[in-house]
Amino acid sequence: MNLEDLPFMLCADSNGKIYDHPYFRMAGFSGSSPMDFLEDDLTPMPEFSKLFFVPDCPPIGVDPLTGEYVIVPEIEIDGQTTRCFAVAAFIEPGYVRSHLPAVDYSPKGYTLPMWGYTAVGFENKGYMVAGFQMEYNHKWDPRQYDDRDLIPAIKEFKKKRQPGPLTEHLTNCAVNYHCFAAKNLFLKRWEAPLPVSRTCNAGCLGCISLQSHDTCDSSHQRIAFRPEKDEIVNLAVDHLSQAPDGIVSFGQGCEGEPLTEFHLIGDSIQEIRKRTNKGTINLNTNGSWPYRVRELAEKGLDSIRISMNSARPALYTAYYQPKNYGFEDVVASVKTARDAELYTMINYLVFPGITDQEEEIDALKGVVNKTGVNFIHMKNLNIDPHLYMKTLPTSDSRTVGMKRMTEIIRKELPDVKLGYFNQPVR
């Protein structure tokens, strides 16, 4: 890309006020190092994106004359020279980032909260982000979620039944965590959540419900009780029998690993299917117990989404820190689910500089060919980029760029679908 055509670099002052730099241009990282932008890497920032600044850490910009990457510790504002800090974006759901923000993390002594930090710049009155749209799905479009409709819907929902602890938990998720799935329960449409598990057999570096590592606060409070089967079944039957494209999903951001409660889930599924045949019963899981996946398939599960940050066992283990299971169990669960004819999805937690390494693409192709998985979610991994790169074992495998990675997968694995959101299967 012509340097003069690059958007201007952004930076922020210590109050978080954002400025576009008058000279330096936007830069982006792949892993821990700068990577040039290609023409189609940049796109106008979608409306429901967020902007962050990175305290203590100066931005890195491009000198449009030399092409050099430069750390920019200060900026002149109204004649005053002041320290400046890097700016990053969190892109609206459905977009995959191609570049991480370009940041000098050396002064950083804290861990950033869990967001999908993305490179962002400014040009012609608009922000430009480094990313591309993976899937548009109106059911996950933030414009469809107006809380002026939600509160009356919750009141109406609770008038019609005696709300139990799970309903109260999901009210908090809908109102305070702004979980779209929880809002859908009360709005009686699309995908709704059924969290059930308090514990987990993994210790993900970026776990959003429990941060045992003294890093940063988890973004959700993990469910602290075991819901009753009756409440689970009643909520699910009501939802599936009424909601257009209805899905109920076990395995949410506000819980541990649902397979730790496979008896409760299995019994609930059987009860649900006695009362309605409508909609999809889905499970989002870390896929650590293949035999429990088989049992839930036999009890009536329709679809499954199994998460992984990498198809390379060493990188998987470094992030998930699994207890009493390994990456081979996760792959076995994907295969078991396909053999049981579940609609099987991988929740691929993608990261520029890791996911687009040739070694990773080969490993992913191996998993897809071995299992016959139907769908791959290309989900931006929400984590402090510096922490992630420090933790993962390094590999000097060549990177091809995130967009190019998706083109390779689409061309070489035409039977697997790439997207971003859960798919109804009934």
Amino acid occupying residue 422: N
Phi and psi torsions of 302, nearest 5°:
-100, -40
207 in contact with ligand SF4 (CB under 6 A): yes
Residue whose CB is less far from ligand SF4, 114 or 240:
114
Query: To the nearest whole angstrom, how small is the minimum distance from the Cβ of residue 364 to ligand SF4?
Result: 19
Query: To the nearest whole angstrom, how small is the minimum distance from the Cβ of residue 392 to ligand SF4?
Result: 16
195 in contact with ligand SF4 (CB under 6 A): no
204 in contact with ligand SF4 (CB under 6 A): yes
* Residues within window 62-81 making contact with ligand SF4, judged by CB under 6 A: none
Among 142, 203, 326, 419, binds ligand SF4 (CB under 6 A): 203
Residue whose CB is less far from ligand SF4, 163 or 326:
326
**424 and 246 Cβ atoms separated by less than 8 Å:** yes
- Strand, coil or helix: what is 426? coil
DSSP per-residue letters across 279-343: SEEEEEE----HHHHHHHHHTT--EEEEEES-SSHHHHHHHH--SS--HHHHHHHHHHHHHTT-E
The footprint of ligand SF4 on this chain (CB under 6 A) covers a number of residues equal to 10
Other CB atoms within 10 A of residue 418 CB: 18
419 in contact with ligand SF4 (CB under 6 A): no
Q: Which residues contact 170 (CB under 8 A, 6 or more apart)?
A: 182, 185, 186, 193, 195
Among 98, 167, 209, 303, binds ligand SF4 (CB under 6 A): 209
Q: Which residues contact 63 (CB under 8 A, 6 or more apart)?
A: 23, 24, 25, 69, 70
**303 and 344 Cβ atoms separated by less than 8 Å:** yes
Among 18, 202, 216, 425, binds ligand SF4 (CB under 6 A): 202
Phi and psi torsions of 42, nearest 5°:
-105, 145
CA distance 380 to 269: 30
Of 3-11, 164-172, 205-213, 350-358: span binding ligand SF4 (CB under 6 A): 205-213
Q: Which of 14, 233, 6, 187 is nearest to 107 (CA)?
A: 14
**Structure-token match 């257009």, residue found:** 244
Query: To the nearest whole angstrom, how small is the minimum distance from the Cβ of residue 93 to ligand SF4?
Result: 18
Residue whose CB is less far from ligand SF4, 248 or 306:
306
Among 42, 166, 200, 330, binds ligand SF4 (CB under 6 A): 200
Among 257, 295, 360, 384, binds ligand SF4 (CB under 6 A): 257
Among 28, 59, 193, 256, binds ligand SF4 (CB under 6 A): 256
Residue whose CB is less far from ligand SF4, 182 or 237:
182
279 in contact with ligand SF4 (CB under 6 A): no
Query: To the nearest whole angstrom, how small is the minimum distance from the Cβ of residue 416 to ligand SF4?
Result: 23
Amino acid occupying residue 375: F
Residues that bind ligand SF4 (CB under 6 A): 200, 202-204, 207, 209-210, 256-257, 286
